[in-house]
Amino acid sequence: MIDQPYVYRHRELVEPDWQRLPGWAEVSREDWESAQWQRAHCVKNIRQLRGVMGGGLAERFYADLERDQAERATMSMLLPPQMLNTMVPGLSPADPGFSDAFYADPVRRYMLPVFSDRHQEWPSHPHASRDSLHEAEMWPVEGLTHRYPTKVLAELLSTCPQYCGHCTRMDLVGNPTPVIDKHRFELGRDDRFAAMLAYLRANPGVRDVVVSGGDVANLPWPRLESFVAGLLEIDSIRDIRLATKALMGLPQYWLTDEVRSGMERLAATASQRDVSIAIHTHVNSAQSVTPLVARAAKAMLETGIRDVRNQGVLLRGTNDTAAQLLDLCFALLDDAKIMPYYFYMCDMIPGSEHWRLSLAEAQRLQHDIMGYLPGFATPRMVCDVPYVGKRWVHQVAGYDRERGISYWTKNYRTGVEADDSRALEREYEYYDPIYVLPETGQEYWRSRSRAPVGAAS
């Protein structure tokens, strides 16, 4: 239960002082606000992290990070300065306690994971798998996931300006790591995009397209604009959502003249055709919502698009209390005008156990945040059940709490089960992290074969 009373107070957004970090002590505001400077100074390895921190971060952290990269990480390191700067915003590396605060930081915990963060006995659930949502099985054309009756996900590219440790699309997105290689698209980009548009023209039952990746902020703007313009020419498409965590991780990009004027053109066409364009972003912690993020979100709204919404991920150590979630939702809503929308349970990919919450914990969080936010801005906690799709956490059909197995049903058939007459009678399973189970439940899983570390690669 949330500590009572949770007291709402409007908090001014603050851009942490980047000059407190020795490597950026001389960086001007003009450079900081330049998307080009941000991209050129992303932190991609330990040497560059040392350069920014200037010796203030304890050696044990670097050793812990290095071991994680060698033995556990499914995503390589990629941190725009904007994002790194939101970690431990109130301390500089020379301050006492900085290293401990860095270890405990909610953003660090998911953007820069270290070996000691992971669960030592169960780094992965035995049922964890790469592409845990089986998206590639539902591609009628490469990169276009059709798993709901009226909606599709268009994965346009496999890179992002930032890489999140828990990325659900770790199968495809980012660079290979020592424990995970990556799927590569076979078709060239233009052929893939043309095939996607052709599929949508041929399937007027689809009305809603999530344009994603990766992160659309890594697609050259003219290419993104022409793809979205192609969608706007298809009469049956009524909703278009552009997925970009970079609205928070690299807001400088969304503030460039090229992007703002391009979005204005798309919004004007969408408005003429009665189509809704929205941006969906991915913010997990209140401290990530800075004045630059708010400026970028409002700049996008000013172009005339319908909305900017947030789809966060529930992560232990980052946002697993109701107070953290409410702080985040109020920060998004009050000054950035970003609509809290969903919080997903973290998917069952290798190495994610220490981040994942149980279904019971997610249900509890949903219960505990009710009544504080406007109803239209109260996010839903959702479980993305393999082969089923998103379900609100209270829609579970059955729940074995001892073994941590929840059972779910589905109400439509998609391409993969088109010939399966029992698809709608079956119950589909989802699994809690084993270490939160009662001892008898943990014994059940120990007695079964355990998946190797970094399973399913």
Catalog residues that contact ligand SF4 under the rule CB under 6 A. Answer: 160, 162-164, 167, 169, 173, 213-215, 245, 282
Least gap, CB of 162 to ligand SF4 (angstroms): 6
- In angstroms, the Cα distances linking 55 to 26, 58, 63, 278 are 17, 8, 14, 42
Q: How far is the CB of 390 from ligand SF4 (least distance, A)?
A: 16
The smaller minimum CB distance to ligand SF4, of residues 153 and 160, is found at: 160
Among residues 126, 111, 18, 129, the alpha carbon closest in space to that of 73 is found at 111
Nearest to 160 by CA among 48, 83, 81, 245: 245
Name the residue nearer to ligand SF4 (CB basis): 168 or 363: 168
Gap between the terminal Cα atoms of the chain: 38
Q: How far is the CB of 403 from ligand SF4 (least distance, A)?
A: 29
Pair of tokens at residue 129: 């798998």
Instruction: Give burial (CB, 10 Å; 0-12/13-18/19+) of 443.
Output: exposed
Detail the DSSP E strand segments found in 60-175. 144-145, 151-155
What is the closest distance, in whole angstroms, from the C-beta atom of residue 95 to ligand SF4 in the complex? 29
- Nearest approach, Cβ of residue 155 and ligand SF4 (Å): 9
Min CB(214)–ligand SF4 separation in Å: 5
Kindly list the strands in the beta sheet with 398-400, ordered across the sheet, starting from the edge strand earlier in the chain.
398-400, 405-408, 428-431
Least distance (Å) from ligand SF4 to the CB of residue 381? Answer: 18
Which one, 69 or 406, has the nearer CB to ligand SF4? Answer: 69
CB of 345 to ligand SF4, least distance (A): 14
Angle (nearest 5°) at CA 340 between 229 and 414: 60
Q: Which is nearer to ligand SF4, 160 or 234 (CB)?
A: 160
- Give the whole-angstrom CA distance, residue 382 versus residue 118: 23
Nearer to ligand SF4, 125 or 282 (CB): 282
| Closest approach of ligand SF4 to the CB of residue 268, in Å | 28
Between 21 and 173, name the residue whose CB sits nearer to ligand SF4. Answer: 173
Of 98 and 185, which CB lies nearer to ligand SF4 in the complex structure? 185
CA 77 – CA 112 distance, rounded (Å): 7
DSSP 69-98: HHHT-SS---B-HHHHTTSSTT--TTSTTH
Q: Which is nearer to ligand SF4, 84 or 437 (CB)?
A: 84
- The DSSP symbol for 389 reads E
Distances from the Cα of 132 to the Cαs of 137, 430, 457, in angstroms?
Answer: 11, 11, 12
**Rounded-to-integer distance, Cα 385 and Cα 31, Å:** 43
Nearest CB to ligand SF4, comparing residues 248 and 277: 248
Sequence-ordered list of residues with C-beta below 8 angstroms from that of 411, at least 6 positions apart, any chain = 424
Q: Which helix (H) or strand (E) holds 294?
A: helix 291-302
Spatial neighbors of 141 by CB under 8 A, at least 6 apart, are 192, 195, 196, 198, 199
Q: Smallest distance, Å, CB 331 to ligand SF4?
A: 19
Which residue number, 147 or 166, has a Cβ lying nearer to ligand SF4?
A: 166
